Amino acid sequence: MTDVDTRVLRYYLAVAEHSSFTRAAERLYVSQPSLSRQIQRLEEDLGIRLFERTSRGVRLTAAGEALLPSARQTVEDWRRAVRDVRTAAAAGSRLLRIGFVATGAGAFGRRVRDVHAARRPDVTLEPKRFDWGGEAEALRQGLADVAFLWLPTDLSGLRTEVVAEEPRWVAVARTHALAGRADVGIREVADEPVVWTRKAPQQWVDWWAVNPRPDGSAPRWGPENDNVEEMLEHVATGSAICFGTESMARYYAHPDLVWRRVRDIEPLRIAVAWPGEKPSPLVRDFLATVRELAAENGTNGGEDGGEAGNGRTGKPPA
């Protein structure tokens, strides 16, 4: 009997999804030669060809197609098992891991943590920061018990409720022509290159870059970044602009850039999210605090049912 690592199955599924070793490697953050070797080893272990290499990329063989359902189920079962083990370990230690990206839910999130900590001194609240758009996947992997998500994002496997909103701001170099303005319109930055990242889902990147723009055009894509600090350094040099939240404008100060409110684009919606149908007692208590404070702020707090298509017209450079 052949034993297969679930990591190799994830590699196989990525190649099957993208029909390309190059795109799959980019998505998995591994080198293409390493990915190719892993797939070749899997095929050798099974004694079966899973992919046919063509001039246009790769496609699944009949055997490769037959493996898809079982591979997906195996990976999902293992993911769920890992999540359950991690969650149980945290709960046993009376530890509640709260995921967030950048400033999370801003002032609202900090108030929630302060109020809840005062009410439940027996529970340790542990903030867990993740890369751009990584909070949802962290919940699915059991790396966080509850999280504040920035929408839009992939909500599959999660329960969510919108709890806060923040206006969006744009950061420009201090020497930029718009630096002296109190606020700006999206058309005024139409020709400016926008910092972007490969680490977040495409839908997430497009929304933050305001892609498409109100006139249907695509933004100019500038340099890449992996985190907030890199993003702000690109802006500070004058090579690009970036969009952020009101709380980012307050808490990510930089001597060589300024933040200005964008007056004519939709605000960021922030949701609290947790995995599964039945939250643990620790998560349930935290959600009660979140809902109470959201109601005080006049936030709807209704469950978010999913994401609509974004209608983007141009992708970042490959």
Give the pLDDT of residue 297: 82
Strongest mean pLDDT among 198-202, 248-252, 274-278, 304-308: 248-252
What is the arithmetic mean of pLDDT over 217-245? 95
CA atoms within 13 A on the CB side of 147: 30
pLDDT at 185 over 60: yes
What is the arithmetic mean of pLDDT over 11-31? 89
pLDDT at 208 over 60: yes
Give the pLDDT of residue 315: 66
Among 160, 139, 167, residue whose Cα is nearest residue 82: 139
- The DSSP code sequence of 147-213 is EEEEESS--TTEEEEEEEEE-EEEEEETTSTTTT-SEE-GGGGTTSEEEE-SSS-HHHHHHHTTSS-
CA distance 105 to 115: 14
Residue 267 host element (H or E): none
Specify whether domain 168-262 bears CATH 2.60.40.10. no
What is the arithmetic mean of pLDDT over 197-223? 92
pTM for the model: 0.75
Give the pLDDT of residue 304: 52
pLDDT at 165 over 60: yes
Phi and psi for 240 in degrees, rounded to 5?
Answer: -170, 175
Cβ proximity of 263 and 184 under 8 Å: yes
β-pairing, 268-275 vs 158-166, is antiparallel
Cβ proximity of 247 and 168 under 8 Å: no
What percent of the chain has a predicted confidence (pLDDT) above 70?
93
Residue 144 host element (H or E): none
For the chain, the 3-state helix, strand and coil shares in percent, each to the nearest 5, are 40, 25, 35
Q: Is 254 helix (H, G, I), strand (E, B) or coil?
A: coil
Among 273, 309, 310, 271, residue whose Cα is nearest residue 165: 271
pLDDT at 291 over 50: yes
Give the pLDDT of residue 53: 84
Give the pLDDT of residue 305: 46
pLDDT band at 139 (very low <50, low <70, confident <90, very high): very high
> How do residues 116-130 score in pLDDT, each as one tens digit?
999 999 999 999 999
What is the arithmetic mean of pLDDT over 292-302? 78
- Domains 6-82 and 168-262 belong to one CATH topology: no
Domain locations in the chain? 6-82, 84-164+268-296, 168-262
What percent of the chain has a predicted confidence (pLDDT) above 90?
67
59-95 as b/e: b if 16+ CB within 10 A = ebeeebeebeeebeebbeeebbeebeebbeebbeeee
Give the architecture-level CATH label for domain 6-82.
Orthogonal Bundle (1.10)
Cβ proximity of 153 and 123 under 8 Å: no
pLDDT at 301 over 70: no
Q: Is 73 helix (H, G, I), strand (E, B) or coil?
A: helix
Specify whether domain 84-164+268-296 bears CATH 3.10.20.30. no
Strand blocks (E) in 57-132:
57-60, 95-101, 124-130
pLDDT band at 307 (very low <50, low <70, confident <90, very high): very low
CA distance 252 to 41: 46
What are the residues whose beta carbons fall under 8 Å from the beta carbon of 271, sequence distance 6 or more?
148, 149, 151, 160, 161, 162, 163, 304
Biggest alpha carbon–alpha carbon distance for the chain = 69
Q: Which residue would you say has higher pLDDT here, 19 or 304? A: 19
- The Cα angle at residue 297 between residues 119 and 247, in degrees rounded to 5: 90
Give the pLDDT of residue 309: 37
